[in-house]
Amino acid sequence: MGLNVIMMGPPGAGKGTQAGRIARERGLLKISTGDILRDAIKEGQPEALLAKAKMDRGELVDDPTMIAIVRQRLLRQDARKGVVLDGFPRTVAQARTLDQILDERGQETLVVVDVVVPEAELVRRLASRRICSNCGTTADPSYLEPACQKCGGKMVQRADDNQGVVLERLKVYHRETKPVLEYYRKRPTFRAVNGAQAPDIVARELDDMIDDARSAGKVR
């Protein structure tokens, strides 16, 4: 039975770092919407080029376009063993479609983890966050080198990581994500972890939660 994990949580919660670790240690494929879009655009996929055009105009990528891109990625052979999703689903429509995709693939376990961090801690973390100016990779807080570990690009602070903008982004996240969390919350495979703890403690608790949810005996 394949294992699929959705990592949810606000910007700065550390879900991307934990998602990467879980994928490496469990032999799963890590998929983030940003990575999918960049790869699909390079491949010239029609849906991805449409999404790029929307983003270039400052518009949001609509559900049908995002779903089509993710569907293509999830149905590839390297995703058959399972995936760790970071940044998808963002809407209830996307969540429902993900259920349909997993149904098409057969017996699949879907574990949903919400990484919970107090707002003040998120603001502190985001104020010191750096990303690669070339590939968009977010650096771990402990990584202080000027060059990106992934591609060698220059590490810079995001222009929108000031307190006022961060607070607005958090407000938008909670408003838009609440329906998705409610969609999953009553499932036996839903878990919440305290992301304000040290990363190694969060990692241990996440592993225990995923194993516990997987052994619940229910697919979704």
90 is catalytic: yes
15 is catalytic: yes
- Residue 176: pLDDT band (50, 70, 90) is confident
What pLDDT digit, counting tens, does each position of 91-148 carry?
999 999 999 999 888 878 999 999 999 998 988 888 777 889 998 887 876 677 899 9
> Is 219 part of any domain?
no
Sheet holding 190-194, edge to edge: 29-32, 83-86, 2-8, 108-116, 190-194
204 is catalytic: no
> Is 93 part of any domain?
yes
How far is Cα 4 from Cα 149, in angstroms, rounded to an integer? 27
- Residue 18: pLDDT band (50, 70, 90) is very high
The closest of 199, 144, 180 to 15, measured between CA atoms, is 199
- Domain range holding 115? 2-214
Name which residue leads in pLDDT, 53 or 156: 156
- Are 86 and 16 spatial neighbours (Cβ–Cβ below 8 Å)? yes
pLDDT at 219: 57
pLDDT at 216: 73
158 is catalytic: yes
Catalytic pick from 15, 73, 130, 191?
A: 15
> Is 106 part of any domain?
yes
The closest of 139, 162, 141 to 152, measured between CA atoms, is 139
Q: Which residues pair with 154 in a beta bridge?
A: 147
**Number of domains forming the structure of the chain:** 1
> Is 169 part of any domain?
yes
Backbone angles phi, psi at 75, to 5 degrees: -90, 0
User: Does position 58 have pLDDT exceeding 70, yes or no?
Assistant: no
Provide the CATH number for the domain around residue 71: 3.40.50.300
> Is 180 part of any domain?
yes
Name which residue leads in pLDDT, 143 or 180: 180
pLDDT at 9: 93
pLDDT at 124: 83
Please give the mean pLDDT across all residues of the chain. Answer: 87
Q: Is the peptide bond before 11 cis (omega within 30 degrees of 0)?
A: no
Catalytic pick from 30, 90, 130, 191?
A: 90
Catalytic pick from 124, 169, 187, 220?
A: 169
Q: Which residues pair with 6 in a beta bridge?
A: 85, 112
- The stretch 36-55 carries a mean pLDDT of 81
Entry pTM: 0.81
Backbone angles phi, psi at 29, to 5 degrees: -95, 125
> Is 178 part of any domain?
yes
Q: Rg of the chain's alpha carbons, rounded to an integer?
A: 17
Catalytic pick from 38, 71, 124, 129?
A: 129
80 is catalytic: no
> Is 102 part of any domain?
yes
Catalytic pick from 54, 158, 187, 214?
A: 158
pLDDT at 30: 94
Q: What percent of the chain is predicted at pLDDT more than 70?
A: 93
Residue showing tokens 């979704």: 220
pLDDT at 57: 77
User: Does position 67 have pLDDT exceeding 80, yes or no?
Assistant: yes
> Is 139 part of any domain?
yes
User: Does position 180 have pLDDT exceeding 70, yes or no?
Assistant: yes
